[in-house]
Structure 1
Amino acid sequence: MRALASLLLGLCLAVSSSACRAEAPPAKAAAPFDYWILALSWSPEYCASAKGNGEQQCERSYQFVVHGLWPQYEIGYPRDCQRVDRVPSSLVERMLPLMPSERLIEHEWRKHGACSGLDVKEYFLQTERARRRLVIPDAYASPQKPISTNVAEIERNFIKANPGLTAEGIALGCKSRWLSEVRICLNQEFGFRDCGRDVSDRCRGSVSIRPSNPGRR
């Protein structure tokens, strides 16, 4: 089941077909926030920090995975807006190829998704749709050795791969000198837009990117 879900989602991410786009139409009602952040975690860095402490995500080889889709105000963001039920198991299975940890999926729904004005299914369909909106540059598809780079070069690569994205619409996160996260700012129709004033790069100077984790399977 999980392997089939991974295959189907991979096909949707690889091609821009009308069938794939039709899976998650735009939300029907205006949500009570200003824009979205699509946060992508660099899995090799996360797993280097986790040190294999039973993390589901680190059992397989991943590169960029979805950390979350976050409703944002122009300054600040809503969080933990209401008590919510657990994410249905069928929806967890669907999301695991993008968000490879049940604990992460539950956390993101509770902290961010419940503030979006969407129900649980629609929120995760929109998460899929937002991820399909973004093309990962070839340089970061599956690096086999560490990459030495800098903030400007990483941003240039993302901008080149995603027409309409600008340097004001992307923010990088680092742990020490290692890239840990890329945040992309999107309007409510998932077009690229500038980030709010409180969203900025947290990397300085040179940046290193860990190679793909071979996983344990």
Structure 2
Amino acid sequence: MKHLSLFTAALYVAFCAVPAQAQQVNLDGYFIALSACEATKKKDGDNPGNVRLQVRHAYDVIARNATPGTHYQIQVPGAPVTEARWVSMSCGALAPGASLVSSPGSLPEDGGAPPATSGALAPESLEYLLAASWQPGFCATAAGQGKPECRSQTSDRYDATHFSLHGLWPDDLDDAAIFPCYCDRGSPIECSFSQARDTSLELSPVVMERLRVRMPGVQSGLHLHEWPKHGACYEDDKTGPDAGATPDEYFTESMALLDALNASPIRDLFVAHLDGILTRTEIEDSFNDAFGHGAGERIQMRCAKITGENVITELWISLKGDIGDPADLASLIQSAPRNSVSASSQSCFSGRVVKVPR
């Protein structure tokens, strides 16, 4: 195989967007291997010759199995039985055909991986979802009841009357899927699966003290899950010295967003309806009043069914832009795509605002 030219140092790697359909999609370009994954004859197995990809090599891509799909079919020169092999999308990244100036081969050791961003993300390609939990509602669910933060919840604790931090999720909001995740564990993957927590995570005492209040899930290790899955991708689409973030930076800026939400009329609306019902329209109207016309089209109200009744568990808020401390929540919301573009599900119509009993 021939070496890729140094020109590839400037290419961005992105998954191609094509019209939605269920059948195989022919593609033109290259698949750059970021892991030594199996290259199989069939998508579900059968690997004559036990062929594995060579990391930092580019292979001619033939097709994708579907849209959005799970596998690429690539050309593996010299593979026995058939050189047309299937590989998981998570094993690498797709590069447009015009990105390379020579035939596929090894990325040069002196800078073949795209240096402009970490994790092979296209520059400036990500927006964010702020998942703000209404903790009393979550604690009423089967998933929450047994957690230590729910067993210890009291009516005078911060999270009984304020939104709590579930997570801040980097996401390409131009489609309905949540992507990327686990950016420090090889190639970024889509977010429907969870991997092991990062039990080695260390935060500064100041950040950890604030986080314990705003993310009660710290008691059950939620932060150890959120950092590797989402935080490791935070600002990975930035260039130069702005690329990437430390855990302290990620959680500090996440809390800045949460503090802005809790200082807004949205929190007042929930407190005014404790043990009552809020409708989607009421919440959307409140966002429009607080953050400008159209803000309500950029939030989702998430509910769980408990004994036949909808209970509000959290809000998902779409954001776009640079997040600071303090956070300009109105500007970030207004810059984000509307739910009609980014949301994979609709808000529940109405739900109860659970109140923690005294």
* Corresponding residue for residue 42 of structure 2: none
Distance in 2 of aligned mates of 1:204 and 1:71:
23
Task: Give the structure, 1 or 2, with the largest relative contact order (CA under 8 Å, sep 6 or more).
Answer: 1
* Corresponding residue for residue 105 of structure 1: 223
* Corresponding residue for residue 92 of structure 1: 208
Alpha carbons of structure 1 residues 92 and 106: separation in structure 2 relative to 1, 3 Å: farther
* Corresponding residue for residue 186 of structure 1: 319
* Corresponding residue for residue 53 of structure 2: none
Alpha carbons of structure 1 residues 105 and 57: separation in structure 2 relative to 1, 3 Å: farther
Distance in 2 of aligned mates of 1:58 and 1:87:
25
Moved more, 72-81 or 50-59: 50-59
Moved more, 53-62 or 116-125: 53-62
CA contact (8 A) 1:142 1:212 kept: no
Distance in 2 of aligned mates of 1:136 and 1:100:
22
Distance in 2 of aligned mates of 1:159 and 1:201:
21
Q: CA offset at residue 41 of structure 1?
A: 1.0
CA contact (8 A) 1:37 1:183 kept: yes
* Corresponding residue for residue 37 of structure 1: 129
* Corresponding residue for residue 342 of structure 2: 198
Structure 2: tracts of 5 or more residues without a match = 1-121, 186-197, 235-243, 324-331
Q: CA offset at residue 201 of structure 1?
A: 5.2
2:140 alignment partner, SS class? helix
Distance in 2 of aligned mates of 1:52 and 1:68:
19
The aligned runs of 1:1-217 (5 Å cut-off) are 33-49=125-141, 50=143, 52-60=145-153, 61=157, 62=159, 63-73=162-172, 74-75=174-175, 76=177, 77-83=179-185, 85-88=200-203, 90=205, 91-102=207-218, 103-116=221-234, 117-134=244-261, 135-137=264-266, 138-141=268-271, 143-144=273-274, 146-163=275-292, 166-176=295-305, 177-190=310-323, 191-192=332-333, 193-195=336-338, 197-199=341-343, 202-205=346-349, 207-214=350-357
Q: CA offset at residue 155 of structure 1?
A: 1.2
TM-score (norm 1): 0.72
Distance in 2 of aligned mates of 1:131 and 1:51:
20
Paired amino acid for 2:290: A
1:168 alignment partner, SS class? helix
What number of residue pairs does the alignment pair up? 185
Moved more, 104-113 or 165-174: 165-174
Distance in 2 of aligned mates of 1:44 and 1:167:
23
1:208 alignment partner, SS class? strand
Alpha carbons of structure 1 residues 80 and 136: separation in structure 2 relative to 1, 3 Å: farther
Distance in 1 of aligned mates of 2:254 and 2:129:
10
Distance in 2 of aligned mates of 1:97 and 1:140:
19
Distance in 2 of aligned mates of 1:108 and 1:154:
26
Greater Rg over alpha carbons, structure: 2
Paired amino acid for 2:203: P
Alpha carbons of structure 1 residues 47 and 31: separation in structure 2 relative to 1, 3 Å: farther
Paired amino acid for 1:82: D
Q: CA offset at residue 99 of structure 1?
A: 0.7
Alpha carbons of structure 1 residues 51 and 122: separation in structure 2 relative to 1, 3 Å: closer
Structure 1: tracts of 5 or more residues without a match = 1-29
TM-score (norm 2): 0.46
* Corresponding residue for residue 55 of structure 2: none
Paired amino acid for 1:187: K
Q: CA offset at residue 143 of structure 1?
A: 4.3
Paired amino acid for 1:129: A
CA contact (8 A) 2:165 2:214 kept: yes
Alpha carbons of structure 1 residues 52 and 71: separation in structure 2 relative to 1, 3 Å: same
Q: CA offset at residue 200 of structure 1?
A: 5.3
Moved more, 171-180 or 108-117: 171-180
1:96 alignment partner, SS class? helix
CA contact (8 A) 2:301 2:348 kept: no
